[in-house]
Structure 1
Amino acid sequence: MTLNDSTVFVELAPFRIEPRFVERVWGWKDLHPWYDRVAEKEPIGEVWLTGDDCCAATGPYAGKTLRSIFRERPEAMLGGGGASSSDSPLLIKVLFAREKLSVQVHPDDRLAQKYGEPRGKTECWYALASEPGAQVALGLKPGVTMDEIKAGIEGGTLEQSLNLLTVRAGDMMYVDAGTVHAIWPGSVLLETQQNCDLTYRMYDYGRGRELHIEKSLEATRLRTAAGKVLPKTLEDRTVLVDSPYFSVERIPVEVSRSSKSLQRANQDKPGLAYLFAAAGSGRLSSPSFGTVELPPCGIIAVPASSPLFSIQDMGELDLILITARTPGTVA
C-alpha cells in the first residue's frame, strides 16, 4: 500500500483531511457524539471526508484542497499505475439520515461518460451504528419489471417494489451502479464510493426536489450484485468488501503497527489509501514527517509515495483501511 519507492516517486507524507459538512433536508441538526457540530440552519446529512473541496489539515499542503493536491502531485498520490488521471478516485462520507432519502439510482461508468462525466458511481455502506429496526432499501424484489417500476413512480408506490434489509452495526452493504436503493433513518453509515456525485432520483416523497425519471430508468438494472457482504477474516485483517474500485478493511492495531504490514501480501505496488477512525484515536509516527494525529471519526490520506511509518492505538482505536483500486485489480 504505502511502501517507500523513492526510485519512482518523490515522497509525500500522510496528512489529515478536514471534514466538510453538507446540508441535506433529510439530515441531523446535532451530530454529537460523532462530530462537534450543530447545524446553524439546514440539517446536515453528509460529512464529506475526501471531497474535492475538502482541505488538508496537516503537512506541507495544509489549507489546500484535495483537488489541487491531486492535480499537483498525481503520481505521488496515486502511484505510477493510477496517475493516468489527476483527480481523486474515491469520495468517502459519513451519512446521518433523520428521514428517508430519495429512492434513487446511480449510473455506471459507461452511462456517466455518455453524459459527459468521467466516471459512474459504485459505492458501499458500512454501518458504524444502528438503532433497532433500522433498514435500507437495496435493489428490487425478484420478478419486478420495468413497467412496474414506472407505475410505482407515477403512483407513489415504488417502495412496494424495493428489497428491504435490516441494518446492524458492523454490516457492510455493497451498492453497485444501476441498483435502485434508498437509505432510511436509524443508522450511521460510512459510505465509500467512486468520486462521482451523480444521483438520479426516482421518487422523493413530495419534497419538491428535482427528479430524473428518464435517466434513472436508463441507469436501472433489474438484477445487480448489491446486498450484504459477509466479512472475510484473514490473519492480520478483516476484509469487509473488495470491489473493482475500492477495498474496505478493518485493521487490528495492538499498541502499534507498521505501515508495511498494512499492505496485503499479494499487493505488488503501492497505491492511494485512507485511514479512518471508526472509534477511538490513533497516531501516525515517522522519522520522515514526525506525527499526525487521527482523532475519532477523522481520516488520513496515505499517498502511494508515503514514507514508512507506524500507527499507534491512542485509545480504543477501531481502524478502517480504505484502498483505491484500478478496475481489474481486485485481490
Structure 2
Amino acid sequence: MTVLSTRTVEKPWGRDRLPAPFVAPEGTRIGEIWFEPPETLDQLLVKYIFTSEKLSIQNHPSDAQTEAKGQGRQGKEECWYVIDAEPGAALGIGFSEDVDAETMRAAAEDGSIEDMLVWHAVRAGDFFYIPANTVHAIGAGVSLIEVQQNSDITYRLYDYGRPRELHLDEGIAVATGTPHDPHLRFHVPARGTQRLVEGPFFVLDRLDGQPDAELRAQYTGPLLVIPREGSVTVDGEEVAPGGCALAHGIDAVRFADDGLCLVTRPC
C-alpha cells in the first residue's frame, strides 16, 4: 500500500483558513494540495483546491488533440466535488448560448467572456464533470476535490488583468463554444453510495460504508482511495480524511461501516 505524498502549493488566490481536516500554516495562503501520482497509477491526479479569488477562465485539450501535436496523451478531463462553499460562491462552466471562435476571442480580449459563462451557485455536495475543451473557471470562496487525467496543459483565455501569459490561439482552437451538458452536473446526497463518473477515462464512486459485491467486482486493478468521513485501512494501514492512498485491489481496502469515501480507477 502507498499513502501518497502531498504537495502543498501556496497561491495568491489561496486561503489562509481551510476546511477540516486541513490547516494552513500561519501567514500562508494555500491554493492546492496535490497527491503525487504513483508510478503504478499515474494516469490520474487527485487534488484539493481552495480559492479566495476567481481563477482564470481556461480550457484543456483532449488526448486526440495533444497526440495530433506530438505531445502524447496529455489531454485533460476532470471533475469537481465541492466540499465547502462560502455564500455567493460559484463555478463558471460552459456558455449560456453557442459562441463561435471569433466572438470568443473578442470576448476574451475585452473581458466580456466572464459574463458569457454560466456561473453555477454551489454548495457542499455539488458535483460537475468537465470534458476536455470546456471553457471553465473556479470562482472565489470554493473548496473542492478535483479528480482529473494527469495532465498539466492549461490554456488561459482570460485572467482578470493578472500579469500571466494567455494562450488565446491554442485555447480557442480547441474550445467548445457551447453550454455545459446538464447531465454532467448534480448534487450528491449526504448519504448513500453513488457513481459520480462512468468514464471515458476514469470511474469515480462515492461510497457510503462497505461496497456491495457488484461494485467490488468492477474494481479489478489498482485504485485510489480518498476518505471523506471516517478512516479506511489499506493493507492494514489507516488512511484518515485529508489523505489519499493507492490500493492494488479493492480487497486490500477495509471501509468503515459508517464512513464516506471516494474511490477512483482508470478505465
* TM-score category, normalised to shorter length: 0.7 to 0.9
Could you report, residue by residue, the CA deviation over 1:72-129 in whole angstroms, capped at 9, with x for unpaired residues?
A: xxxxx36xxxxxxxxx100111110110000001001122221524320000001112
The alignment partner of 1:33 has SS state of coil
Matched, 1:198 2:153: yes
1:122 aligns with 2:72: no
1:175–1:226: 8 Å Cα contact kept in structure 2?
A: no
Q: Which secondary structure state, in structure 1, belongs to the residue aligned with residue 231 of structure 2? A: strand
Supply the distance in 2 between the matched residues of 1:187 and 1:33 (Cα, whole angstroms).
14
Q: Who is 1:7 aligned against?
A: none
Structure 1 counterpart of 2:125, from 170, 178, 192: 170
Distance 2:60 2:5 in 1: 27
Unaligned runs of 5+ in 1: 1-13, 53-65, 71-76, 79-87, 326-331
Q: Is 1:283 paired with 2:233?
A: yes
Instruction: Tell me the secondary structure at the aligned position of residue 149 of structure 1.
Output: helix
Preserved contact between residue 174 and residue 225 of structure 1 (Cα < 8 Å): no
**Structure 2: where are the runs of 5+ without partners?**
none
**Mapping of residues 27-42 of structure 1, within 5 Å:** 27-31=14-18, 33-38=20-25
Question: Residue type of the partner of 1:89?
Answer: Q
Q: Deviations over 1:198-244 (max 9, x none)?
A: 110001111101111110111201237655434799xx831122220
Q: Does the alignment pair 1:323 with 2:244?
A: no
Structure 1 residues 295 and 152, CA, compared in 2 at 3 Å: closer, same or farther? same
Distance 1:100 1:111, change over 3 A: same
Match of 1:99 among 25, 35, 53: 53
Q: Distance in 2 between matches of 1:203 and 1:129?
A: 25
Gap change, CA 1:184 and 1:277, over 3 Å in 2? same
Partner SS for 2:230: strand
Q: In the superposition, relative to structure 1, how do residues 34 and 209 fare at CA in structure 2: closer, same or farther (>3 Å)? A: farther
Using the TM superposition, name which of 196-205 and 138-147 deviates more: 138-147
Listed as ranges, the matches of 1:224-243 within 5 Å are 226-227=181-182, 228-230=184-186, 237-243=193-199
The amino acid across from 2:140 in the alignment is P
CA distance in 1, matches of 2:151, 2:255: 33
Scaled by the length of structure 2, the TM-score of the pair is 0.88
Report what 2:221 is aligned to: 271
Question: What do you get for the CA RMSD once the two structures are aligned?
Answer: 2.6
SS in structure 1 at match of 2:109 = helix
**2: distance between equivalents of 1:252 and 1:44?**
29
User: Which residue of structure 2 lines up, in the alignment, with residue 90 of structure 1?
Assistant: 44
Letter in 1 for 2:202: F
1:137 aligned partner: 92
1:143: Cα distance to partner? 2.8
Residue number among 143, 163, 173 corresponding to 1:218 in the alignment: 173
Would the aligned equivalents of 2:24 and 2:30 in 1 still touch at CA under 8 Å? no
Number of residues of Structure 1 aligned to a counterpart in Structure 2: 263
Q: Is 1:302 equivalent to 2:266 in the alignment?
A: no
For 1:251, the aligned partner's letter is L
Distance 2:128 2:82 in 1: 8
Instruction: Give me the identity figure in percent.
Output: 33
Query: CA offsets, 1:261-310, max 9 Å, x none?
Result: 48445x3x7122111112332333xxxx4x21111211111125x7x335
Decide whether the 8 Å contact of 1:172 with 1:241 is kept in 2.
no
The 4+ residue runs of structure 1 with deviation greater than 6 A are none
Structure 1 residues 34 and 219: CA distance shift in structure 2, 3 A:
farther
Give per-residue Cα distances to partners, 1:161-216, cap 9 Å, x unaligned: 11111212111101000000000012211101100011100011111011111101
